Chains A and B, each alone.
Chain A
Amino acid sequence: MTVIDVVMLAVAVLGGASAILVVVSRNVVHAALYLVVALISVAGTFLLLGAEFLAWTQVLVYVGAVIVLILFGLMLTRAPLGPMPQDNDHTRLAAALSVALFGFLAVLIMQAFGDTALPLSVTPTAAIGEILYVHWAFPFMVLGFFLTVALVGAIVLARREEGEGPEPLFDAEMDSERPTPAPTDVSTTPGVTSPSQEIRT
């Protein structure tokens, strides 16, 4: 075993252990924090495989944005300290399903790439850029378009569920004294419809 094998093994054990802790942890914030460790381990694996750009993307997008949004959402809604009551009866089914899926994927990947030796040199970022924006430019743009559609759709759906129409356009002034529309009033009072809702229906 070389040094890199040992480091790889350590990162894999760390990532696997924290991934298990994500699902067995009795506190939802702890689960999110274990997820941070799991995702950083994935970034570490990318780094050890020479995919430097992918590793930093993993850190920026998953650790820096997704986890922050998860924690933010938890703290805005409910995130009590200490263990939380179990409110899910399907843990055994979930465990069986995930073990089966893990085994299936592991066998599949080993069958497909088991003999392939990876070159452990750092992939230059320029090469990734060329592949993405020259060879695969059209699929890349289509994918970007789909993601934008999904984003807009998610916002529209979320606002419709809450019974909120899109807000009237802001006036350009930053420090306007305009009273901010209180969303709770609109969503909790049935019968009160904002003008924009009528337009949509």
Chain B
Amino acid sequence: MTESLLALDNVWLALLLKVAAIVGFFLVAPLVIGYIEHKGLAHMQARLGPMEAAFHGIGQLPADGIKFIQKEDIIPANADKWVFSLAPGVALVPAMVILAVIPLGPGLWAEDLDTGVFFALAVSSVSVIGILMAAWSSASKYSLMGGIRAAAQLIAYELPLVLGAAAVVLQAGTMSLVGIVEAQNDFRILGVVPMWFVLPQALGFLLFFVASLAELSRPPFDMPIADSELIFGHMTEYTGLRYAFFMLAEYAGIVVLSALAVVLFLGGWYPLPGVGLPSFDVLFLPGEVVAALAGFAVTMGKIVALAFVMIWFRATFPRLREDQLQRISWLAFIPLAILNIVVVAVFKVVA
């Protein structure tokens, strides 16, 4: 296991710094994605999007946040108050916890777990409990139906997601996310051409990406919150800060799953296959820090690019039907994911 940049001699100080870094990233990165969605969708639909709040509406989402804080916190009279209040937190926390293992640059991670991928996928599967809690406790039929749809969808797409990641683990020979990034840098097609796992694992990448869209209930897989049928699914009865928490959880989920896709398939912090990061001293900055900053920029660029594709999908594809969604997963994606694992295993043994 490689050490994090934040591994200091003082354990408690290091822990404090790591938590601060994770919370900071968790609060800023989803807003960036949200702003890109606002502007990206607007321009794809020949609109301008938010323009009033600061330069080109860049302050729109912080302004929205302040608005949410001021709103009245309404709990429906028939709702189960405790479960209703706790649900947004349960949906939000897993996304934050996963960030602890995701490497954003050389040395830029909180913890390089031996079981990194496994941890990330295990924790991400918890957030559906928050959605189910919200759906049930709202005492609303729209919420309940949305929750049932969400649960069915998450059960169906958990498997292709996990199996897609398992094929990468098989090829890399490690479950550590840092180890997988390094394994991609060392990988050569036929021993010559440097390439990331996105090419040998093209099928796995496709499955992983589409399954993560479905896991996030993003269009075209947004039946759980289908506005024309269910108002807003499990979020129908929520207002104010609790609603904002759900939205934050959704965009944090985009960041986290895009980051996982970048780490598993797109070479992590390496700018090009086989090309390393600059690690010379710049002015007062030591080479290590320069490499970390450059790596962070590269990783963020890739995350934003993947998130942009997700937004692009939203502007392009109509919503699928519930039965189509289920059939795609059980009859196409899961068999393909298993086939992918078999092929990768055969190549791993032969090569």
**Judging by beta carbons under 8 Å apart, are A68 and B154 in contact?**
yes
From B118, B151, B154, B332, give the contact of A53 (CB < 8 A): B118
Q: In this complex, which of B114, B148, B154, B158 has the most chain A Cβ atoms within 10 angstroms of its Cβ?
A: B114
**Judging by beta carbons under 8 Å apart, are A53 and B155 in contact?**
no
Residues on A with beta carbons closer than 8 Å to the beta carbon of B228: none
**Judging by beta carbons under 8 Å apart, are B115 and A72 in contact?**
no
**Judging by beta carbons under 8 Å apart, are A60 and B132 in contact?**
no
Q: How far is the CA of A149 from the CA of B135 in the complex (A)?
A: 34
**Judging by beta carbons under 8 Å apart, are B136 and A64 in contact?**
no
**Judging by beta carbons under 8 Å apart, are B121 and A60 in contact?**
yes
Residues on B with beta carbons closer than 8 Å to the beta carbon of A71: 129, 132, 136, 151
Stretch at the interface among B34-42, B52-60, B217-225, B322-330: B322-330
Q: Tell me, rounded to whole Å, the shortest Cβ–Cβ distance linking B150 to chain A.
A: 10
Q: Tell me, rounded to whole Å, the shortest Cβ–Cβ distance linking A3 to chain B.
A: 11
Interface of A is mostly: helix
**Judging by beta carbons under 8 Å apart, are A125 and B135 in contact?**
no
Q: How far is the CA of A52 from the CA of B123 in the complex (A)?
A: 13
Residues on A with beta carbons closer than 8 Å to the beta carbon of B119: 56
- Decide if A98 is an interface residue (CB 8 Å cutoff): no
Interface of B is mostly: helix
**Judging by beta carbons under 8 Å apart, are A60 and B323 in contact?**
no
Stretch at the interface among A73-81, A106-114, A131-139: A73-81
Within 8 A of B (CB), among A40-79: 52-53, 56-57, 59-60, 63-65, 67-69, 71-72, 75-76, 79
> How many chain A residues touch the partner (CB < 8 A)?
30
Q: Fill in one digit per residue for B309-336: 1 if any A CB lies within 8 Å of its CB, else 0.
A: 0000000000000011001100110000
- Decide if A11 is an interface residue (CB 8 Å cutoff): no
Residues on A with beta carbons closer than 8 Å to the beta carbon of B323: 180
Q: Tell me, rounded to whole Å, the shortest Cβ–Cβ distance linking B91 to chain A.
A: 13
Q: Fill in one digit per residue for B150-188: 1 if any A CB lies within 8 Å of its CB, else 0.
A: 011011001000000000000000010000000000000
Residues on B with beta carbons closer than 8 Å to the beta carbon of A65: 125, 155, 158
Q: Fill in one digit per residue for A11-28: 1 if any B CB lies within 8 Å of its CB, else 0.
A: 000000000000000000
Residues on A with beta carbons closer than 8 Å to the beta carbon of B327: 170, 174
Q: How far is the CA of A69 from the CA of B328 in the complex (A)?
A: 20
Q: Tell me, rounded to whole Å, the shortest Cβ–Cβ distance linking A132 to chain B.
A: 14
- Decide if B210 is an interface residue (CB 8 Å cutoff): no
Q: Fill in one digit per residue for B115-144: 1 if any A CB lies within 8 Å of its CB, else 0.
A: 100110111011011001101110100001
Q: How far is the CA of A57 from the CA of B162 in the complex (A)?
A: 12
- Decide if B78 is an interface residue (CB 8 Å cutoff): yes
**Judging by beta carbons under 8 Å apart, are A59 and B122 in contact?**
yes
- With A64-B128, A71-B132 as given contacts, are A52 and B114 in contact (CB-CB < 8 Å)? yes
**Judging by beta carbons under 8 Å apart, are B114 and A124 in contact?**
yes
Q: Pick 17 A–B contacts, CB within 8 A, sort by A.
A: A29-B136, A56-B115, A57-B122, A59-B125, A59-B126, A63-B126, A68-B125, A68-B151, A68-B154, A72-B155, A75-B151, A81-B80, A81-B137, A125-B115, A125-B175, A170-B327, A174-B328
Give 5 closest A-B pairs by Cβ, nearest first: A64-B125, A60-B122, A59-B122, A56-B122, A72-B151
Given pairs A56-B118, A75-B147, 17 additional interface contacts (CB within 8 A): A56-B119, A56-B122, A57-B122, A63-B125, A63-B126, A64-B122, A68-B128, A68-B129, A69-B155, A71-B151, A72-B152, A75-B132, A75-B148, A124-B114, A125-B114, A170-B327, A174-B328
- A-to-B contact residues, CB < 8 Å: 29-30, 33, 36, 52-53, 56-57, 59-60, 63-65, 67-69, 71-72, 75-76, 79, 81-82, 122, 124-125, 170, 174-175, 180
